[in-house]
């Protein structure tokens, strides 16, 4: 990908619309391009603010209309293919039939194994997509809540953090941009600050430098949040000094 192409990816990067390969290539470029790094940071913050706007709901009759249209689409009928009798008479035909049957059985067995594997992969991908959709919906619900309140802070190494809290939903979302990658085998872990006692609120994706995360668990009486670097998989309690501490908006 050319440098000119990379300059055009700031918006897609801010919206997490790049593949892993493209994201890595852009981040390497942005490390040496101050203009792209600043533009991606500003677009990420703008995207977070846009999330605070009221989102629209699909019409209630949309599903029934789609399901009704499906019944009007006719499926193509299967085509009948005439069978031809092989030359050479009955015995030869029977031998060929046995070979053909054996080949078909072997082919079906191999195809069946591949089909099961492909089905499992498709099911896994479908479940991951559903989980991702549920997380996105939950994040959007917090950002669009009428009582959503936002607070931002500068993080180490020029990163930027924004936390959005909804008391009515008792939930919070943390939005980060420009985060440095954690050390190998480590991960950023988020924590609720319950009057000085840190309560785990989930992990960030170590492969991403910009991310919106729904904090796991209820906000409850937490006054803020913290970020620490922990072993892969997270820790029951912080094992390192906080990378950052943020106070929740009043």
Residue-wise pLDDT for 197-239, tens only, equals 999 999 999 988 888 899 999 999 999 999 999 999 999 999 9
Q: Is residue 155 one of the residues assigned to a domain?
A: yes
Q: What pLDDT, on a 0 to 100 scale, did the predictor assign at position 74? A: 57
Q: What pLDDT, on a 0 to 100 scale, did the predictor assign at position 96? A: 47
Where is 54: in which H helix or E strand? Answer: none
CA distance 174 to 41: 15
- Residues 6 or more apart whose Cβ sits within 8 Å of residue 69: none
Task: Give residue-wise pLDDT tens across range 41-55.
Answer: 777 766 666 655 545
Q: What pLDDT, on a 0 to 100 scale, did the predictor assign at position 158? A: 87
Q: Is residue 113 one of the residues assigned to a domain?
A: no
Q: Is residue 72 predicted with pLDDT exceeding 90?
A: no
Number of domains in the chain: 2
Q: Is residue 172 one of the residues assigned to a domain?
A: yes
Q: Once rounded to an integer, what is the mean pLDDT over residues 106-123? A: 51
Higher pLDDT, 11 or 80: 11
Q: Is residue 68 one of the residues assigned to a domain?
A: no
Q: What pLDDT, on a 0 to 100 scale, did the predictor assign at position 75? A: 52
Q: Is residue 25 predicted with pLDDT exceeding 70?
A: yes
Q: What pLDDT, on a 0 to 100 scale, did the predictor assign at position 56? A: 54
Higher pLDDT, 108 or 2: 2
Q: What pLDDT, on a 0 to 100 scale, did the predictor assign at position 231? A: 95
Q: Report yes or no: 55 and 142 within 8 Å, Cβ to Cβ.
A: no
User: Of 173, 189, 177, which is closest to residue 235 (Cα–Cα)?
Assistant: 189
Q: Which range marks the domain in which residue 213 is found? A: 149-247
CA distance 198 to 249: 18
């Amino acid at each position: 990908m050319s440098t000119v192409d990379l300059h055009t990816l700031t918006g897609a990067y801010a919206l997490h619309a790049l593949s892993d390969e493209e994201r890595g290539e852009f981040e390497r470029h942005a490390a040496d391009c101050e203009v792209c790094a600043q533009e991606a940071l500003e677009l990420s913050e703008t995207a977070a603010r846009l999330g605070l706007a009221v989102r629209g709901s699909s019409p209630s009759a949309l599903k029934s209309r789609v399901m009704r249209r499906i019944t009007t689409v006719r499926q193509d009928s299967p085509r009948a293919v005439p069978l031809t009798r092989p030359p050479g008479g009955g015995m030869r035909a029977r031998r060929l039939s046995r070979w053909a049957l054996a080949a078909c059985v072997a082919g079906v067995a191999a195809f069946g194994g591949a089909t099961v594997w492909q089905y499992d992969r498709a099911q896994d991908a479908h479940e991951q997509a559903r989980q991702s959709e549920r997380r996105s919906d939950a994040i959007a619900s917090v950002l669009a809540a009428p009582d959503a309140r936002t607070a931002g802070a500068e993080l180490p190494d020029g990163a930027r953090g924004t936390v959005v809290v909804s008391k009515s939903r008792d939930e919070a979302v943390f939005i980060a941009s420009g985060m440095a990658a954690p050390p190998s085998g480590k991960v950023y872990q988020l924590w609720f600050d319950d009057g000085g006692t840190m309560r785990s609120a989930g992990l960030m994706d170590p492969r991403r430098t910009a991310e919106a995360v729904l904090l796991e668990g209820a906000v409850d009486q937490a006054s803020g949040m913290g970020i620490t670097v922990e072993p892969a998989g997270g820790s029951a309690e912080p094992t390192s000094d906080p990378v950052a501490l943020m106070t929740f908006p009043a």
